[in-house]
Structure 1
Amino acid sequence: MPYTFRNSSPRAPPAPQSASATHSTGQTYKELKLECQQRGTLFEDCDFPANDASLFYSEKPPVPFVWKRPGEIVKDPQFILGGATRTDICQGELGDCWLLAAIASLTLNESTLARVVPLDQDFGPGYAGIFHFQFWQHNEWLDIVVDDRLPTFKDRLVFLHSADHNEFWSALLEKAYAKLNGSYEALKGGSTIEAMEDFTGGVGEMFEVKKAPENFYDILKKALKRGSMVGCSIDTSSAAESEARTPYGLIKGHAYSVTGIDEVDYQGRKVKLIRVRNPWGQVEWNGPWSDNSHEWRSVSPSEKKRLYQTALDDGEFWMKFDDFQSHFDKVEICNLTPDALEDNAAHKWEVIVHQGSWVRGATAGGCRNFIETFWTNPQIKLQLTEKDDGQNECTFIAALMQKDRRKLRKQGAEMLTIGYAIYESPSNDEQLTKDFFRYHASKARSKTYINLREVSDRFALPPGDYVVVPTTFEPHQEADFCLRIFSEKKAVAKEMDGNVDIDLPEVCHHI
């Protein structure tokens, strides 16, 4: 597999026309649409047909779903009605709240939304039953076309839908994302950060709320102000607890999006508030500062208006920041650029991208516990050359992503447990040997080995030569990966030389 290194600033997403066409015919959205217009036909997508295989791979639909175009469901379908907003996202019969929480965050940033959901689409003149959306995958933007046949039951959309029954952008976006991943079922269960990254090409950071830094409120405020996407959730202690409701109206094991943060004047003092949204479009927090709570009676009408405080059962609610910290467990932030969250300076970061593979018998060495094979993993040399301003160290984020695991689910693939270690390097360019790793400790490593799509951590190390070793936890596990290194100052990376040739005993191997 060719390795690519690109240096660029990830601040601005590329212009929409730079997304790669993905349809099996080789045609672009415009070409496919024009062909349908000239023939006077409505587009039917041969790559994602309107049948059960596009819905599920391990089960049959619980009831007979009927695929219908929006014009067959309602009289006057609209793509976007009154702007794309958070209330357009109501969860259907699919466990993809993680995706919906990310879509809700997406609507908060106009330019990010317009990148994912090209806005020059509608059901008006020139309508040809074809729509397109753009997603980031492993360092490139892809343009995904879909026809507008959607699964229905009794003339209602089965999956994601808008609170307005004649608005269809969110249902079509979910369909395009299902196509990208192979089926609707492939979207069951996930981490909000995964979809956030696919919508932005940004880099994610996870916070344990109970261990969050003292300035966590400011971190979140700054992240939202900068257009970062923010999700939150409450842990479950067992599978039985999933989607269990707490006495305060919050749902365990469920992905919410953070949509606002502010301070309000209350009885002569400032109170820190945070606004959270349930992608179900209903079921809200019922504690202090909830929609109908008495606290709002002491707030001026102008303050209420400024905070868009309404008592609608729309799934969105304010709560006191202290209550948020005591009730929620995890916060995921996807930085559109990985600007330092610790201080107020906006930085342009350099990004280096390395595409690689773990191949059984060659480069799938497993973690450091497996010293006999660990040295065979891909080794990426990283030169940190310039210190941060006013510091003696170089700050960088290393983000390791395993590719296409959701798409491969129907073949039985699961997310692998992945992580990485970073070693100070001798100054030559040769592959580090087994003995090197036996006698040298790592200088830094991912906080954990975990079965998430991406593991990312922030580091500060002195200038020098380092080697990043991305690995699966167990040896002999095969996957493609993408390693991104975001550095505050210029950094250089390259593949280490040296062929690895080892004999491995045959073992039973299951994906």
Structure 2
Amino acid sequence: MPYTPSGFFCDRFIRERERRDGEGSLSKPIRFSGQDYNTLKQEYLQKKALFEDESFPATVDSLGFKELGHKSNKVKNIVWKRPKEICDNPQFIVGGASRTDICQGDLGDCWLLAAIASLTLNDKLLYRVIPQEQSFSEGYAGIFHFQFWHYGDWVDVVVDDRIPTFNNQLVFTKSAERNEFWSALLEKAYAKLHGSYEALKGGNTAEGMEDFTGGVTEFYEMKEAPKELYKIMKKALERGSLMGCSIDSLVPARFETRTTTGLVKGHAYSVTAVEECKQSQQKETKVRLVRLRNPWGQVEWNGPWSDNSKEWETLPKGEKEKLQHQNADDGEFWMSFEDFKKNYTKIEICNLTPDALEDDKLHKWTVSVNEGRWVRGCSAGGCRNYPETFWTNPQYRLRLLEEDDDPEDDEVACTFVVALMQKNRRKERKLGANLFTIGFSIYEVSNTMHGNKQHMQKEFFMSSNSKARSKAYINLREVTQRFRLSPGEYVIIPSTYEPHQEGEFILRVFSEKRNTSEEIENRIEADHPVPAPASTGEESEEDQQFLSIFQQIAGDQMEISANDLKDVLNKVVSKYKDIHTEGFSRESCRSMIALMDVSFMDGKGRLNLQEFRHLWNKIKQWQGIFKSYDFDHTGTISSYEMRNAINDAVVCFVRHSGFRLNNQLYDIITMRYANENMNIDFDSFISCLVRLEGMFRAFQAFDQSGDGNIRLNVFEWLQLTMYA
């Protein structure tokens, strides 16, 4: 019988199933909001009506939540119109999509528009994001679609063509050609993907470039740029990489302020060309030039090599033609590479993954992708500054299998890039979410530990130094860094800077040669329980007292019910002043009876003396383990220590290695049993262990073949879950 878990676990289950069906790939993108473009288009053509997208309606909710929300005066005069209501003869694309088609409107998404401008340099990439054969004439039904890379999956986003206007002018992105609308509709689809137009306000160009390509971005600070930066930029453009740059503003309130040179601080630019030219007056002299574009579609550099500068007179006619030099206030301009380094503070280069280009002449990457989640109280351990919880973060085993073809200084090493991306923070802005400060560390695994797939314990990190790590923890959507390490096995630990911060992430490893990475994920399994021998020592006074109480309550039948068990346990446990508990509930006592009842699921629901003795021995052992993890003597244990406490508790009663859980189940245990302070009291601790052992025992009763799979009908499923 199929079982669908709830919440995040349901979502993850569905995503994994979709990938098995091939969904999420370029050839079979996921239908965003469940909308199929071709089906909807045919439906509205047959109805002879224009599509209206109910999942992203032409209302204030789609505009925003604060500055563009219901209480904002900015939205009062905005009217949603279709292109045919705005101008005569609207066109989707006029004369091919180009970087000059993108002019920023009244939305602070220059980062996105700079990424779109870079995208237009490569038709293959561009028309993968913008499927062709869309128009306002043949087959027009008011519906369009676009495709984006979205946290590991390709998604197809459908929109109608109603666009926000003010005085019959587009409010947001527009084209230099008044009757061209591909860029405005692309922006709308991207806004829908993230929940609203306002969600697009503020960002870095890397985010857009990656969502158009599935690539990975490397950042270079100009003051720390490598000597071969020009060569890196030149090679990057030749192999199809996208590139953006910006000038940091030291005063956040003065973002997008113009300098005397015509450049704008706190603003994103596209790098659209890098060239080296011979100057005619001195034939041996070469000049390195960089071409940039301002998404505003105007406001340009006015220094050397600007549109009207005298430097152009030093170039032969052929060189000018090669550079396609134009004198126009279109936001695009050239400047020398030296001036580029002096004026800009940061450059972003988005390298493409293997599925981005098929041309064998262009550089390709090997990539491995892992999805993960930080769960408060269980796997959100924070950075190395928090050694008590750092080890609980998700862990990923990296195997570098092949060294580079062109080693530096004869060093045998593997070049790779690690990219840690936090998910959905932009979409959740309306709920008050901000970007976490994130980073990662890399630890080398000794030869004796190769192949070990168990979660690395606290002791390993307390005694080991990281082999490499991200340069800094920073509040960006993605943190990336390039490394060179010897072939071997390593462990990558992604984390937020502070513990207890809950969110999803995706971890990617790109390399020039073969690598593998996978989460260190314990396999869910259990050895068939063989109870450890009972103690042969003399009964303690406490044991004798329990026997007396049991006999008094049980009566002639010598059996007790859940209510009886609750009374017995709470009377004794209340004498322990160092254990914080509000007492065992009737429900937890019923679970104990289900665990110990040897006539499993026969409906008896009572314990005899032998079963009660076994249960009491378990509780005493578990009590000792609980106290050993109660480091601060508060009567509770930290939820982060629950992983080790569970392992210790099981080993006490089951020979060999007992049962093992994976990270998702530890997450569930934390959410189910921890309090708001991420602590677990004694009765919750016992209830958890009882439920775990009982459910494993029940599973094994059904697993007749011993292959780790069972099939239940509805009655058996309900019988099992209701009794346990």
Scaled to the shorter chain, the TM-score interval is over 0.9
Shift of 1:506: 4.0
Q: Deviations over 1:443-482 (max 9, x none)?
A: 0111111111111111111122111111011101111111
Q: Deviations over 1:332-379 (max 9, x none)?
A: 00011389xxxxx96543211111110111111111101111011001
Q: Deviations over 1:248-292 (max 9, x none)?
A: 000000000001111222222211111010000000000001001
Aligned residue among 232, 242, 252 for 1:229 = 242
Output aligned runs, 1:290-305, within 5 Å.
290-305=306-321
Q: Which deviates more, 81-90 or 379-388?
A: 379-388
Match for 1:206: what amino acid? F
Q: Unaligned regions of 5+ residues in structure 2, if any?
A: 1-8, 17-23, 356-360, 525-638, 643-673, 679-724
Aligned residue among 46, 58, 65 for 1:50 = 58
Q: Which deviates more, 265-274 or 413-422?
A: 265-274
Aligned residue among 161, 164, 167 for 2:177 = 164
Match for 1:295: what amino acid? E
Following the alignment from structure 1 to structure 2, what is the Cα–Cα distance between the partners of residues 264 and 305? 11
Output aligned runs, 1:169-248, within 5 Å.
169-248=182-261
Q: Deviations over 1:117-149 (max 9, x none)?
A: 111100112100000000001111000000000
Output aligned runs, 1:344-363, within 5 Å.
347-363=363-379
Q: Deviations over 1:145-195 (max 9, x none)?
A: 000000000100000000000000000000000000000000000010000
- Is the contact made by 1:203 and 1:338 (CA closer than 8 Å) also made in structure 2? no
Shift of 1:432: 1.0
Aligned: 1:411 with 2:431: yes
Output aligned runs, 1:111-510, within 5 Å.
111-266=124-279, 267-268=281-282, 269-337=285-353, 347-389=363-405, 391=407, 392-425=412-445, 426-427=449-450, 428-498=452-522, 502=641, 506-507=676-677
Following the alignment from structure 2 to structure 1, what is the Cα–Cα distance between the partners of residues 395 and 81? 50
Q: 1:507 to 1:191 in 2, by over 3 A?
A: farther
Q: Deviations over 1:298-351 (max 9, x none)?
A: 323332222111110000000011001100000000011389xxxxx9654321
Output aligned runs, 1:5-20, within 5 Å.
17-20=27-30
Match for 1:258: what amino acid? V
Match for 1:47: what amino acid? S
Following the alignment from structure 1 to structure 2, what is the Cα–Cα distance between the partners of residues 473 and 419? 7
2:264 partner SS: coil
Following the alignment from structure 1 to structure 2, what is the Cα–Cα distance between the partners of residues 476 and 78? 51
Task: Name the structure 2 match of 1:10.
Answer: none
Q: Deviations over 1:40-88 (max 9, x none)?
A: 0000000100001100101325141000000000011000001101110
Shift of 1:384: 1.6
The higher relative CO (CA closer than 8 Å, separation ≥ 6) is in 1
Following the alignment from structure 1 to structure 2, what is the Cα–Cα distance between the partners of residues 61 and 152? 15
Following the alignment from structure 2 to structure 1, what is the Cα–Cα distance between the partners of residues 110 and 73? 19
Q: 1:299 to 1:463 in 2, by over 3 A?
A: closer
- Is the contact made by 1:361 and 1:502 (CA closer than 8 Å) also made in structure 2? no
Shift of 1:22: 1.4
Q: Which deviates more, 86-95 or 302-311?
A: 302-311
- Is the contact made by 1:338 and 1:486 (CA closer than 8 Å) also made in structure 2? no
Following the alignment from structure 1 to structure 2, what is the Cα–Cα distance between the partners of residues 471 and 16? 30
RMSD, aligned α-carbons: 2.2
- Is the contact made by 2:376 and 2:502 (CA closer than 8 Å) also made in structure 1? yes
Q: Which deviates more, 152-161 or 288-297?
A: 288-297
Q: 1:61 to 1:194 in 2, by over 3 A?
A: farther
Match for 1:144: what amino acid? V
Following the alignment from structure 1 to structure 2, what is the Cα–Cα distance between the partners of residues 17 and 350? 19
Following the alignment from structure 1 to structure 2, what is the Cα–Cα distance between the partners of residues 310 and 15? 40
Shift of 1:390: 5.1
Q: 1:377 to 1:72 in 2, by over 3 A?
A: same
Following the alignment from structure 1 to structure 2, what is the Cα–Cα distance between the partners of residues 39 and 217? 56
Shift of 1:16: 5.2
Following the alignment from structure 2 to structure 1, what is the Cα–Cα distance between the partners of residues 303 and 112? 26
1:448 partner SS: coil
Task: Name the structure 1 match of 2:691.
Answer: none
Match for 2:164: what amino acid? P
* Greater radius of gyration (CA): 2
Aligned residue among 37, 45, 56 for 2:45 = 37
Match for 2:57: what amino acid? P
TM-score when scaled to structure 2? 0.66
Shift of 1:393: 1.2
Match for 2:383: what amino acid? C
Following the alignment from structure 1 to structure 2, what is the Cα–Cα distance between the partners of residues 229 and 130? 29
Q: Deviations over 1:72-105 (max 9, x none)?
A: 0001100000110111000000000000000000
Q: What is the identity percentage for the equivalent residue pairs of Structure 1 and Structure 2?
A: 59
More helix by share: 2
Following the alignment from structure 1 to structure 2, what is the Cα–Cα distance between the partners of residues 158 and 472? 37
Shift of 1:505: 7.5
More strand by share: 1
Q: 1:232 to 1:501 in 2, by over 3 A?
A: closer
Shift of 1:507: 4.5
1:502 partner SS: helix
Shift of 1:435: 1.4
Q: Unaligned regions of 5+ residues in structure 1, if any?
A: 6-13, 340-344
Shift of 1:15: 7.8
Shift of 1:114: 0.6
Match for 1:332: what amino acid? E
Following the alignment from structure 1 to structure 2, what is the Cα–Cα distance between the partners of residues 245 and 348? 39
2:257 partner SS: coil
Shift of 1:17: 4.1
- Is the contact made by 1:375 and 1:432 (CA closer than 8 Å) also made in structure 2? yes
